[in-house]
Every structure is written in C-alpha cells, then in structure tokens.
Amino acid sequence: MNKYRIKAFGITKDLLGGKETFIEIDGEKVADLRAALNERYPELLGLKSLFIAVNNDYADDTIRLNPSDEIALIPPVSGG
Amino acid sequence: MIKITEKSIDVKKIIDTVSSLSAGALNVFIGTVRNNANGKNVLWLEYEAYETMAVSQIRKIIEDASHRWPLLGWAVSHRIGTLKPGEVSVVVAVSTPHRKDSFEACQFIIDSVKEIAPIWKKEVFEDGEEWISARPEMAFKA
C-alpha cells in the first residue's frame, strides 16, 4: 500500500472536509488515486471536471506517483 | 513579474514595471468584481489560489506568449481573499514595439490564466454561496 498526502482546493476542499487528506491505495498511478478518491468521495464525480496536479503540474492518469510528490485536486478553475 | 496577493493591486505600479523605452505600445487588462450574477446581487467574492502552481502555470503562459509576440515587459497580478464589487481582481500588462502585438499578447495571457491557472472564486449572495463553474449546468441554490 502507498500512502499519499492530497491537497484540496475550491469546492474539493468542501467535499473532502478540509484542505488536506491522506489516502492509502494499492496502485501507484494517478488513475489508481483517482479511482480511490471517487470511491471515498463520490461527490467528486458530480464536478464538471477534476484534474490532479503532481508537483505543480497537471498530471494525466498514466503518471506514476511517489509518496513524496506534492499532489493536489484541481476542480474547474475560475480565476480572473 | 508574477504575483498572487491578498493586498489590493496597484495598477500604476504594474504599468511602471512593464514600461520600456523601446515599446510603442503598453496594453493593460484589468479584471474587476461584478456586483451581479444571474440576476442576483453579489455581496462579495472569495478568491483562493494554489499559489505555487498558479505561479508556475502563469510562468509557462508567459513563456508561450514570449515565443509568439515580442514582449518587452510583462506582468500578471492576481488578488486572492475577500473582494467586494468594484475591486480589481486581476491585472495583466504587456509592452511591445507595436500595438497589435500588445493587444494579442494581453488577450492570450488573460484568457490562458482564466483557463489553466489554479485559482477559484466563490460568489457570496444574500441567501447562499457558490463555487463558480464547479458543477455542470449548476442550478442556483435558492
């Protein structure tokens, strides 16, 4: 099992109930993390989009994660 | 200069940082807080940013823009925190030798910032609040 620290912003902060959470998963890809998050927080599926950022960059589902990575949930952005 | 700040944005200062003696054009976009959304009064907006990523994504946007237009100076400043209607939420400024490039580059930068910079806003009404664009065809909470 790999344990990851996840930062949450915008509406995901409300859905996860805080700015940060930890999650343990079997896999090590962004896709595995996404599946685990959707299972634990099904409301994430109701968002228009949800990107996962790894080390300050948008990461696609094939990216491999490291427990030391900075991982963040990026719901639809609305700056400006 | 890229800045994510809780303090009010000094537009004149930003203009000074992008001005250049070899520039024939200086273009500024100023985003301001609207007092209404879908027919409802907006009391204030709450802006939030993933600051380190916002800065790195905006840096990429500027790099892109620099390849496409001859930028002499550039600046992007975005407010976070609580903003009331009328306040400045974002300023983009660029200077170039000629005006067409300055218009195009400025528009490209603000459009890209709105599209990819991890910054969020929540509208606060008299009877509720809503993260903008978060849900598809969001119904208004009465």
Using CB atoms, which residue from B52, B115, B120 is nearest to A10?
B120
pLDDT 10s digits, A59-79:
999 999 999 999 999 999 999
Closest residue on chain A to B53 (Cα): A56
Distance from CA of A24 to the nearest CA of B (A): 23
pLDDT 10s digits, B108-118:
999 999 999 99
Using CB atoms, which residue from B52, B90, B122 is nearest to A79?
B90
Output the pLDDT for position B137.
63
- For residue A35, what are the domain limits? 2-74
Which residues have C-beta within 8 Å of that of residue A48, sequence separation ≥ 6?
A75, A76, B133, B134, B135, B136
Give a yes or no: residue A47 inside a domain.
Answer: yes
Q: What is the CATH number of the domain that holds A7?
A: 3.10.20.30
Look at residues B19, B28, B22, B24 and name the one whose alpha carbon lies nearest to residue B98.
Answer: B24
Share of chain A above pLDDT 90, in %: 94
| pLDDT confidence band for B135 (50 / 70 / 90) | confident
CATH of domain B2-131: 3.90.1170.40
Output the pLDDT for position B138.
53
| pLDDT confidence band for B136 (50 / 70 / 90) | confident
Using CB atoms, which residue from A10, A46, A57 is nearest to B48?
A10
Return d(Cα B62, Cα A57) in angstroms, integer.
16
DSSP three-state, residue B6: coil
Output the pLDDT for position B38.
85
Does the pLDDT at position B12 exceed 60?
A: yes
Structure tokens at B9: 């944005």
Residue B99 near residue B116 (C-beta atoms within 8 A): no
Distance from CA of B114 to the nearest CA of A (A): 5
Neighbouring C-alpha atoms within 13 Å toward the C-beta of A4: 27
B42 touches A at CB < 8 Å: no
**pTM (2 d.p.):** 0.94
| pLDDT confidence band for B64 (50 / 70 / 90) | very high
Return d(Cα B84, Cα B82) in angstroms, integer.
7
Mark out the alpha helices in chain B (DSSP H runs).
11-18, 51-68, 99-116
Return d(Cα B46, Cα A79) in angstroms, integer.
11
Distance from CA of B91 to the nearest CA of A (A): 9
Does the pLDDT at position B141 exceed 60?
A: no
The ipTM value here is: 0.95
Question: Are B120 and A72 in contact (CB < 8 Å)?
Answer: no
The most distant pair of C-alpha atoms in chain B lies apart, rounded to whole Å, by: 54
Give a yes or no: residue A19 inside a domain.
Answer: yes
User: How many independent structural domains does chain A possess?
Assistant: 1
Give a yes or no: residue A49 inside a domain.
Answer: yes
Look at residues A79, A8, A58, A16 and name the one whose alpha carbon lies nearest to residue B57.
Answer: A58
Average pLDDT of every residue of chain A: 96
Question: Are A76 and B50 in contact (CB < 8 Å)?
Answer: no
A72 touches B at CB < 8 Å: yes
Q: What's the average model confidence in pLDDT over B59-87?
A: 98
Residue B62 near residue B54 (C-beta atoms within 8 A): no
Give a yes or no: residue A79 inside a domain.
Answer: no
Q: What's the average model confidence in pLDDT over A23-49?
A: 95
DSSP state of B101: H
Give a yes or no: residue A80 inside a domain.
Answer: no
Output the pLDDT for position B142.
39
How many Cβ atoms are within 10 Å of B100's Cβ, its own excluded?
10
Does the pLDDT at position B73 exceed 60?
A: yes
Distance of CA A21 to the CA centre of its chain: 10
Return d(Cα A15, Cα A75) in angstroms, integer.
11
Output the pLDDT for position A1.
87
Q: What's the average model confidence in pLDDT over B57-84?
A: 98
